[in-house]
Each structure stands twice: as C-alpha cells, then as structure tokens.
Amino acid sequence: MPVTAMMSRPTRYNDPVMKQVHGTTDLAPQPTISRFLSALTCDDVLHLNRLILTLALDYIRTNHIDTVMLDVDSTHCDTFGHQEAASFNAHYGVTGFHPLVAYIAQLNLLLGIKQRPGNQYTSTGVKEFLAPIFAAFCELPFDVQLILRGDSGFATPELYTLCEFYDVKYVIRLKQNAALDQLADEFTPVVPKHFDQNSVIYGEFNYAAKSWSIDRRVLVKSTHQVGELFFERQYVVTNMTEAGVKLLYLAYQKRGAMENLIKESKAGFFMDKTNSHTFTANAARATISGIAYNLIALMKLMALPKEQRNTTISTLRFQIFHVAGKLARHAGKIIIHLAQSNVFSQQIEALLANIHTLSPLVTN
C-alpha cells in the first residue's frame, strides 16, 4: 500500500510484507498517522520539501547532468469541508488550495511543492519558492545550466530578476497587450494575404514594460489557421540571446508535458488530498506525496528500460506491486514466493535484477 494512501485509510495491520519493510511487528493505525501529520510544523514541511529536492539533486550529481529544463506551474487541490486557508479560486471555479510546483522536464523529477491558499495569484510567492532551488543547484560540484519555462501567470519582473541573478535562462510567455501588438506590427501582418492557407510567421524585438528596469528580448509567433480572419499572436520573453526564435518557441511548447506530471502526482500519489483540517497538515500531506513521487521516478530512471520510464504508477501497481505472494523464512532469510500464474513475472525479475546492480547515489 502506498504511504500516501496509508494516510487516508486504515493500515493493513497484518500485512507481513509491510511489517518487514518497516522493521516492526506493530504498524501505526490511522489515528496515529493523523496525529503525526497534525504535529508537524511549518519548519518540518520545509525539511520534507528539502528532501524532495535532495532526491533530484543526488540523481543529477551522480549522472553529471549539466543542463536542466525546469518547468514551474500552479495547480489546484479541491477541498470539501472547512479546511484552514481553503478559499475560492476564480480561475478553477472551485474552493481549495493553489500550490506551486516545479519539475525537471527531461527527468520527470519533482523539485518542490509550495502549498498556498486557493485565492493566491499564479505567481504569488514564486520568488521565495524558486530561490532555494536555484541556490541548491549552485552548490553542486559542477556547473548546471538551468532553463526555466513558465506560462503568462509567471511573467513578473521579480522572477526575471531572480533568474538573471542566478544565471538561469528563461522562456516565459507574456500576455498579449496593445504595446506588444504595436511593436509586432512592424514584423508580422495582422491580416493574412491568403485566407485559404495556414501560415506561421516569427519575429522578435526588444521591449521594456513600465515595471521592468531593463529591455528584454521578446519573441512573437503569428499563426493563421484556414478559416480565420486574423493572425493569432503569442509572445514570450527570454534572456537567451543566441538561440533562434523558432527553436525557442518549440522548446517552450514542450512545457505542456508538465500537465501529465501534475496529473500523475495527483492521481497516482494523492498530492491533492486535503483530508486534514489544518493548512500545515495538508501541506505536509502534499509534500510527503512528492517524496513518494520522486522515489518512484528515480526507480523508473535507474531500474526500468528507457521505453518504460513514462509508465504510470497505476500500471506499476497493477503489474509489479499488487502481486499475490507468500512470505516465508528459511535459513535465516526472508523469501517472498510470488504466484506462479503471474503474467508479469519476467518484468518483476528484470526490475529486481536491475535494482541489485545499482550503485548508491552520490550525496555530496
């Protein structure tokens, strides 16, 4: 049973495998787990969040990964009672929490989660959320180039300044406005020449909003679809001066895959569970779910074939974790006998063989 599920329903007290995993004959009942969550403080949640980041950094350090694509976004956790700090979110149209999350795109690893009240704007607290992550990468024994992607909700000068301070490259979408459209008119048409043809036109210019202290590079993509009267424009701001406009847009568009990571974290690891009354306990729930998510993500990276690394946790539970077996002891060893009729026995054997060949992650 996943640890996050154990926090929401009674523990299987007599499960012999769970007792062996935890090294005890007495498993904590659900009330004990609830008391544990309620006893956690804000500092405890920060330490748990640090563990999420540490798991990701250890893998990067071990494999000497020198370029990291970092996606930042917000999501929603619904509430169904009178939970502390739960509030209505006009964008989602429901009451709950509105956490910030950050993932490493190419590794599917979570870097952190920051729980917030539901009425917080998308970018509220993003500087405080990302600064410790950027600082942690600076402490690695080799240089890592971070590239941040974010939607228009994160188009704030404080985030640009933070990225520039830590030498983090960024590609962030801008909301369309009259000033941008006026500058783009010099590069891209408003009305297409051929209404019966699809067309895409790219351009770029320097721009400084009133709240910006310096000019920044802004890219524009004008797209016309057959049947439409006008071009549709999209803008992104970036501090990457050498990459081409089309290449940067292609890189930005791939951030859509982050939605699948959020969905996996919530549906597969219960990151959106809000069963506790206090805000801190619910934040702890989400953070513990994030730790569980990263442990499985690391298992997939280190012990599964490359073509299976996008396998969801629900599939892994069905094929590998939820398999009938019998616990036996022989000659001082603990042996788990799996059902002979299991159709996924080869996958389980291959996974165990790969795990036995793993070397420890480099932690410092």
The total number of structural domains in the chain stands at: 2
> How far is 96 from 283, CA to CA, in rounded Å?
12
On whether both 271 and 339 belong to a single domain, the answer is no
Summarised one tens digit per residue, pLDDT across range 306-325 is: 999 999 999 999 999 888 88
In three-state secondary structure terms, 2 is coil
On whether both 306 and 342 belong to a single domain, the answer is no
Query: Averaged over 124-133, what is the pLDDT?
Result: 98
User: Residue 30 domain-assigned?
Assistant: no
In three-state secondary structure terms, 169 is strand
User: Residue 319 domain-assigned?
Assistant: yes
Containing structural domain, residue 342? 315-356
- Percent helix, strand, coil in the chain, to 5, is 40, 20, 40
User: Residue 205 domain-assigned?
Assistant: no
For the cut 90, the answer to whether the pLDDT of residue 94 exceeds it is: yes
User: Residue 195 domain-assigned?
Assistant: no
pLDDT tier, 6 (very low <50, low <70, confident <90, very high otherwise): low
Rounded to two decimals, the pTM is: 0.91
- Beta bridge partners of residue 103, listed in sequence order: 71, 110
Task: Answer positive or negative: Cα dihedral of 9, 10, 13, 19.
Answer: positive
Task: Answer positive or negative: Cα dihedral of 310, 313, 317, 318.
Answer: negative
Provide the CATH number for the domain around residue 300: 3.30.420.10
Gyration radius of the chain over CA positions: 24
Comparing CA positions, the residue from 295, 243, 239 lying closest to residue 269 is: 295
Looking at residue 123, its pLDDT comes to 96
Comparing CA positions, the residue from 108, 100, 192 lying closest to residue 151 is: 100
Looking at residue 1, its pLDDT comes to 46
User: Residue 196 domain-assigned?
Assistant: no
